[in-house]
Amino acid sequence: MQDELKHILSDKKEAISREQLLQYLNGEMEPAEKHDFEQKIIDDPFEADALEGLDELQDKKRIELIVDDLNRSLRKKTAKKVNSRKRLQLKTPWTLYFSAILLLILIALIFIFLHRQLNS
Amino acid sequence: MEKEVFCILRFNNFNRVSKDRYHDISDKELLQRFRQTEDSEWLGALLERYTLLLFGVCMKYLKEENDARDCVQQIFLKVIQEAGRYEINYFKSWLYMVAKNQCLTILRDRKGKTPVALTDLNAPLADSDNSPQPLSDEVTSELLEAALKELNSEQYNCVTLFYLKKNTYQQVSEITGYPLLKVKSHIQNGKRNLRISIQKKLAQNATRDAG
């Protein structure tokens, strides 16, 4: 009893996992497990808010699909920047050199052509 | 039985590991890597840990699945844009603040169409950096019991049923007849009041001892 009293004021700062949260929402926990879980999240407003919101969704099976979907688009967002940087670093100089050389050859050819015509 | 529970938990951890590519790297470390390399993939890995929670928070305030999805996407963009600019000590509470602000902005834009209650968003933000100090050994069980008895009857009932009798929210709600959300807030407020009253008592004791 005494230990339990002190228990009230201890802050359990354990991270909860995505699977635990889903199990809780789907009602797949034993009462004792459920209690432990509730005690873990009660001091974390972020987790408590999230649980309240997720509970509003009628079809809990969709949660995982939605989260995977969001993660996929997040990966696209975070990968884009790196790709564009890579492209800049690797490709731009070569196309630039190539077109510059091409232009020089073209000018030289025109010059030679005109020179010959004038001479003749 | 206990072993079985343990197995379930272990399995879960394993499952989570396969989903989180950088499970062995802390939030802080990931954020630091992002700052050093400016590679937003680190930030993406960090954000992925919180996608479910973000979606939940957006669902709580916006109520609509599609709105909540859009809101999470906006939060992602905001974090990618702003995470490099600020000194962030504790990523999780910073992210929670960003998420709530984003929901608030959307609710404000919506306000013209439908009236909304914003009371919840005005609640003080708990920053885990300022989380209360663990109580010292000076806190005796007599002190705790005295403080517990000072709570109002609703909070006293809910706190004892939850923490001492180890009931779930649902069970507490069934026993007391209070709705589930009320049970939650009674427990949260009861705990806060308990802490305040104990700190007061400790301060009183300290001045009495000094005098």
The answer to whether B78 faces chain A, any CB pair under 8 Å, is no
Residue of A nearest to B140 (CA): A6
Contact pairs from chain A to chain B, CB under 8 Å: 161
Sign (positive/negative) of CA torsion B21, B22, B28, B33?
Answer: negative
A1-21 pLDDT, tens digit per residue, is 556 666 677 665 667 788 888
How distant is the Cα of A8 from the closest Cα of chain B, in angstroms?
6
Could you give the CA distance from residue B90 to residue B88 in angstroms, rounded to a whole number?
Answer: 6
Nearest chain A Cα distance for residue B112, angstroms: 23
Q: Are A70 and B52 in contact (CB under 8 A)?
A: no
Mean of the per-residue pLDDT values for chain A? 83
For B18-75, write each residue's pLDDT tens digit.
367 777 888 889 998 998 888 888 899 999 999 999 999 999 999 999 999 999 999 9
Read off the DSSP letter of residue B184.
H
Region of residue B128 (phi > 0: left; psi between -120 and 50: alpha; otherwise: beta)? alpha
Q: Which residue of A has its CA nearest to B70?
A: A70
Q: What is the structure's pLDDT at B51?
A: 94
Binned at pLDDT 50, 70 and 90, residue A69 comes out as very high
pLDDT for res B11:
38
Residue B144 pLDDT: 85
B110-153 pLDDT per residue, tens? 876 655 555 444 444 444 444 455 566 667 778 888 888 889 99
Contact B53 A46 (CB under 8 A): yes
Whether A64 and B15 have beta carbons less than 8 Å apart is answered as no
